[in-house]
Structure 1
Amino acid sequence: MKWSEIGILTSNEAIEPISNILHEAGASGVVIEDPLELIKEREDQFGEIYQLNPDDYPEEGVIIKAYLPINSFLGETVEAIKSAINNLVLFDIDIGKNKVSLAEVHEEEWATAWKKYYYPVKISEKFTIVPTWEEYTPGNEDELIIELDPGMAFGTGTHPTTVLCIQALERTVKQGDQIIDVGTGSGVLSIAAAKLGAARVQALDLDEVAVNVARLNTELNKVHHVVDVRQNNLLDGIDGPVDLVVANILAEVILRFVDDASRIIKKNGYFISSGIIQQKKEIVMEALINAGFMIEEVITMEDWVSIIAKK
């Protein structure tokens, strides 16, 4: 089968929303070519970083690549993607140069092309994300490993918004907690919560592909007895009480279910939200306060924000 590789030259700020647009358009895999990866400092044990080729990265901005099957609807799909990206300016999101390119690739090329960008990364005090195809030896007995194969789901576990969420989970999860992960993607946050001692995690995602990938990853990490992965739209029809809700989604989406989160979270429980750009921080914080939460901590990384709010 032949695939069309769509590449969008954009800004770092637009990575999350454009990736989401591509995913919703049916993209089977997303690659992010960010030149910042070339200058990030990493421990020597992750030797794979030296294999990165500067020629694969843009001189400025970020290139987001996705793969779409070549069929009679491809033209309409690409135009819909372009329109959705252009509409991001209505939300004050910088879309950079917004140059779109198309190229044809064969399935075997697509299936392995993105893997060269994905390697073991220590993302927090406790956790290291390890691709399933890489061998890795923990540095000490306290290190927690999350093995991950994103497959066709959005989320490799190493994006700043995911890292912020996992760091927030380390601060808040207690043994025996009941937790909900809204928009689970590849399931990485649910897996982290289970490894931190949660008794039960509901991993919810509207996308059937993400649900299937998350189930495979929970089994791979041997936490499938704790994590219940299912298809669901945000918190629609979900009852509490729970100790914690975590959501790594766009700010505009978080605003849609803040009241539902407040309804099901126990008193003194937590709502961890991420996927928030700096310009949207105040809007989300105001919504959280109006819904009965107290802002306990705001964590930042690059241009991204994660908020830990207490009921």
Structure 2
Amino acid sequence: MKWAEFRVHTTQEAIEPVSNVLHESGAAGVAIEDPHDLVQDWGDKFGEMYDLSPDDYPEEGVYVKAYFPMNDSFSATMDLVKDRILQLTQCEINLGQATMEYVEVDDEDWANAWKKYYHPVQVTERVIIVPTWEDYQAQENDIIIELDPGMAFGTGTHPTTILSIRALEQTVEANDRVIDVGTGSGVLALAAWKFGAQTITAYDLDQVAVTSAKENLVLNQADHAIEVKQNNLLEGVQENVADVIVANILAEVIVSFADEAFKVVKPGGSYITSGIITRKKADVIDALESAGFIVDEVTELNDWVAIKARKPV
């Protein structure tokens, strides 16, 4: 079978929404070519695993690549994907150049092409994200999260995921109840479990993400400990039940349900948000404070922001 490697030239800000469009349109794999990766300090422990060529990367902006089967519905799928990506501007998302093109690749080529972008990544002093196809020998005190990204966005390498995991490590305490909103691959729910949370619920509106997250729970022997459900944000969730809520999603979405998050988190509990491009940091802070939260910490990495807020006792 022939496959198409579909490439979107866009901005850092648009990585997640564009990736979501591609996943929801049936992409069998998504990869990011971000020039930041060429200068990112991955640490001596994993530096030898990265063999990145500058020729594959844009001088500015990023490439988001996805792989689609070239079947009878391919042309219609491409038209729909292009329209949906361009519609993101209605949400005030800067798409940059927004050029879109594709090339044909053979079945064997596509199966391995996107995997070259994902290697073991040390997210914190203890946490290492390891793709299933990598052979990694764990060291003492390592916390390993094994992932098969599949068709769900969230491999552990994106700055928003890294910031979220670091915030969870500082926040989650033994026996906490954690809710992960927009779970994607399930990586943040898995991190919360590794940090000692007792009750974890992960929500995603996309059924593909729900399925992928469940598969990753099995990989980590965590399917007994984490419940994954298809749900629209925090719709229907009881009030004052979560010690920690984490939401790594678009800034506009975080703003839209700040009041609901305030109701669901317990007094004294924490709300960790990420997926926020720097220029939208103030909007999210305003929304959280208007809902009643106290902002405790703001961290940044490569133009992305994570905000840790607290519900007063």
Shorter-chain TM-score: what band? Answer: over 0.9
Matching residue of 2:211: 212
CA contact 2:121–2:156 (8 Å) conserved in 1: no
Match of 2:162 in 1: 163
8 Å contact 2:152–2:212 — kept in the other structure? yes
How many residue pairs align between the two structures? Answer: 310
Q: TM (normalized to structure 1)?
A: 0.93
Write the deviation string for residues 69-96 of structure 1: whole angstroms up to 9, x where unpaired. Answer: 3344433332333333334444443322
Q: Verify the 8 A CA contact 2:14 2:94 in the aligned structure 1.
A: yes
Contact 1:152/1:209 (CA < 8 Å) preserved in 2?
Answer: yes
1:62-117 residue CA offsets vs partner (Å, 9 max, x unmatched): 11111223344433332333333334444443322221111223333222211111
Q: Is the 2:22–2:81 Cα contact (8 Å) retained in structure 1? A: yes
Distance 2:299 2:57 in 1: 28
Deviations, residues 161-198 of structure 1 (Å, cap 9, x unaligned): 00010011011101000111011111100000000000
- What is the alpha-carbon distance in structure 1 between the residues aligned to residue 29 and residue 50 of structure 2? 24
Does 1:190 pair with 2:174?
A: no
After TM superposition, give the deviation of residue 253 of structure 1 in Å: 1.4
Structure 1 segment 106-121 matched on structure 2, within 5 A:
106-121=106-121
Task: Measure, in 2, the Cα distance between the counterparts of 1:211 and 1:88.
Answer: 23
Amino acid aligned to 1:294: I
The corresponding residue for 2:59 is 59
Contact kept? 1:294, 1:309, Cα under 8 Å:
yes
Q: Which residues in structure 2 correspond to 1:61-210 (within 5 Å)?
A: 61-139=61-139, 141-210=140-209
> Which whole-Å CA distance do the structure 1 matches of 2:198 and 2:97 have between them?
46
- Secondary structure of the residue aligned to 2:96 is coil
Instruction: Calculate the TM-score normalised by the size of structure 2.
Output: 0.93
The answer to whether the Cα contact below 8 Å between 2:24 and 2:208 also exists between their aligned partners in 1 is no
Residue 35 of structure 1 and its aligned partner are, at CA, apart by: 2.3
Percent of residue pairs bearing the same amino acid type = 54
Question: Equivalent residue of 2:179, what SS?
Answer: strand
Please give the alpha-carbon distance, in whole angstroms, between the structure 2 residues aligned to 1:87 and 1:152.
22
Aligned to 1:271: 271
Q: Name which of structure 1's ranges 251-260 and 269-278 shifts more when overlaid on structure 2.
A: 251-260
**Contact 2:151–2:212 under 8 Å retained in 1:** yes
- Secondary structure of the equivalent of 1:233? coil
Counterpart position of 1:7? 7
* 8 Å contact kept, 1:29–1:154: no
Give yes or no for contact 2:181–2:247 (8 Å, CA) kept in 1: yes
Deviation at 1:151, TM superposition (A): 1.3
Equivalent-residue separation in structure 1 for 2:8 and 2:25 (angstroms) = 14
Structure 1: segments with no counterpart, 5+ residues: none
Alignment gaps of 5+ in structure 2: none
Query: What CA distance in whole angstroms lies between the structure 2 residues aligned with 1:277 and 1:59?
Result: 20
Determine if contact 2:273/2:307 at 8 Å carries over to the other structure.
yes
